[in-house]
Amino acid sequence: MTANVPASGYVGHDASVLFLSREDVDALLDLDRLIDAVAEAMAELSGGRASMPPRTAALVAERDAFLGVMPAFLPGSGVLASKLVAAFPRNARLGVPTHQALIVVFDPATGAPVALMDGEHITAMRTAAGSALATRLLARGDASTLAILGTGVQARAHGLMVTRVRSFASARVAGRDPERAAALAAELSAATGTAFHAAASYEEAVRGADVVCATTHSPEPVLHRRWLGAGTHVTSVGVNVAGREVDAETVRDALVVVESRESTLAPAPVGANDVAWPVRDGLLHPEDVVEIGELVGSVRAGRSSDRQLTLYKSAGVAVQDAAAAGLVLDEARRRGVGTELLL
């Protein structure tokens, strides 16, 4: 059943919400618009206009997992939303998604819930949209070679999104399983028109690459400074409470850009050890860490030369989920898609 739900979320005297399934969200989310929406959300956050408390999480220690709560309000787009996300990295061994989520959107005028939607696709694509935005802002103009480290959901999403903001002559995929790397390379080649190839190792993928996207859950660095050439742009989205994806030397030598200084430098599971530990160890000053919203708003400078190393470290922030959910809900209302549920 489809329905157009009023912005207030009420039909007569009965409260209702619009339910959007995973298939609905996949069909409704415009990936090009998502990059721009994430940019606006990050500018709102850095400008102090958005409301976004730090992520709260209940740890499931025996599974190396957590259940996170991520609320946010974006006044510019009028989106009030909260995501519940279960991050269970061991699910990869079971063939089950490692990140599963639900997003609830509320009416900012009354607080009434107006929509409930699957958040798995949004989580994957809004993260990759942030990386695409960072690549647009920080990668050299002549960047021609892309490397993706990892073979999971985020690796696929990054292959789809980063190629939307740069044209690469070649691209490489590397992971622990050569067969999965080869399969993902073939899928991304067909989907993007960019020639992706499987590399034999992380090092082989990284050496000579102009843009590197690390998308693993490794507690040990999969990317090392000695592999990186001058002027490389690195994106890292893997977060592991037990370790880090990028080595300290890369962080020390790079212009470091994050979504939120407060969130990134917070203790796990909110923050990212990749940045927090070098700050702790005196290798990086907190005031030198730049927020990507500050780059969007031209408050801080980005790349200063073609030889500068740049690093965008993502820990995941709720304003990105809210921005994506707002796009999905607007499109659902426009098309009359979704199932009305009475509360």
Mean pLDDT by 10 residues, the chain (343 residues): 43 77 97 98 98 91 90 97 93 87 97 97 97 98 98 97 97 97 98 97 98 96 98 96 95 98 89 96 97 97 97 97 98 97 92
Q: Residue 213 — φ and ψ, nearest 5°?
A: -115, 115
Instruction: Look up the CATH number of domain 127-317.
Output: 3.40.50.720
Cβ–Cβ < 8 Å for 336, 4: yes
CA 126 – CA 161 distance, rounded (Å): 10
Residue 21 burial (CB count, 10 A):
14
Half-sphere exposure of 249 (CA within 13 A, CB side): 8
Distances (CA, A) of 35 to 144, 147, 196, 268: 21, 20, 22, 27
Q: Residue 83 — φ and ψ, nearest 5°?
A: -115, 140
Do the domains spanning 10-123+319-342 and 127-317 agree at the CATH topology level? no
Closest to 122 (Cα-Cα) out of 336, 317, 305: 317
Cβ–Cβ < 8 Å for 314, 235: yes
Q: What is the pLDDT of residue 4?
A: 43
Q: Which CATH class is domain 10-123+319-342?
A: alpha beta
SS3 196: strand
Residue 110 burial (CB count, 10 A):
12
Q: What is the pLDDT of residue 2?
A: 40
Residue owning tokens 């730090």: 54
Closest to 137 (Cα-Cα) out of 299, 343, 301: 301
Q: What is the pLDDT of residue 86?
A: 94
Q: Residue 108 — φ and ψ, nearest 5°?
A: -70, -10
Q: Which distant-in-sequence residues (6+ apart) come within 8 Å of 34 by Cβ? A: 125, 126, 129, 323, 324, 327
CA 308 – CA 230 distance, rounded (Å): 6
- Element counts in the chain: helices (H) and strands (E): 11, 16
Q: Where are the domains of the chain?
A: 10-123+319-342, 127-317
Q: State pTM to two decimals.
A: 0.93
Cβ–Cβ < 8 Å for 80, 73: yes
Q: What is the pLDDT of residue 14?
A: 66
